[in-house]
Structure 1
Amino acid sequence: MIQGLRTVIYPVANLAEAAAWYARVAGKAPYFDQPFYVGFEIGGFELGLIPDGQPGTAGATAYWGTQDADAELARLLELGATVESPVADVGEGIRVATVRDPFGNLFGIIQNPHFDNTRLA
């Protein structure tokens, strides 16, 4: 079951510059810093950055927390969603997937062991 909002991911043209800017905004360094993704934990939520040559064209993607990404993806498909990107391990035990809802909206799910799941259940 969906537990609550966890992550919003912003595409950026220059990941290093954006990471430095958001570090100033957040007042702290990212907890996850890789060439393909930079993540900041802010008040129990995650602000994520991905490198993308055309930021803003697709907008941000919100990721809703779950304790089991595979089971939640299966449930969403049963409810009429279609897979945009299947469950993938993106490192450090974090697993994500995105679907399109029946209305064409992008809907993300995230299983992140670095977050306190009991608080948002």
Structure 2
Amino acid sequence: MKFLGLRTVIYPASDLESTKQWYIQATGVQPYFDEPFYVGFNVGGYELGLDPNATQTTTYWGVEEIDLAWKHLISTGATADQEIQEVGDGIKVATVKDPLGNVFGIIENPHFGK
């Protein structure tokens, strides 16, 4: 089981349009994915996501095999938070909580280089 580095940060965006406009101005980058349920930016090879349904900021670490990473994290004392789910286009995400209660996200994204 190997971590590939930080890949994605998802920010809550209750007002998706104004939040999107702010990040366009702040980063100078246009979104590559722009839907009412999610706006995604590629900023320097990393995903900056805006989610109108998110309640907290979540950072995701890239992994090659999310099932193995999930089992590994649980075996080290993490607790399940959000089970593994496919979010489209072959991308799978999940979150656990570390022993201190911090959210630790993992993402298997076949579109990121290894």
**What TM-score do the two structures reach when normalised by structure 2?**
0.88
Aligned length: 113
Q: Partner of 1:84: helix, strand, or coil?
A: strand
Paired position in structure 2 for 1:43:
44
| Percent identical | 51
Shift of 1:24: 2.5
Paired position in structure 2 for 1:116:
113
Shift of 1:105: 0.6
Contact 2:40 2:50 in 1 (8 A): yes
> C-alpha root-mean-square deviation of aligned residues, in Å?
1.7
Give CA deviations for 1:46-103 in whole Å, capped at 9, x if unaligned.
11111148x6xx4x21110111112111111111111110111111221110000111
Q: Does 1:7 align with 2:11?
A: no
Give CA deviations for 1:16-59 in whole Å, capped at 9, x if unaligned.
22122212323232122232221111111111111148x6xx4x
Paired position in structure 2 for 1:94:
91
Structure 1 runs of 4+ off > 3 angstroms? none
Read off the aligned partner of 2:50 and give its amino acid letter: L
Contact 2:29 2:43 in 1 (8 A): no
**What TM-score do the two structures reach when normalised by structure 1?**
0.83
Q: Which runs of 5+ in 1 are unaligned?
A: none
Paired position in structure 2 for 1:16:
17
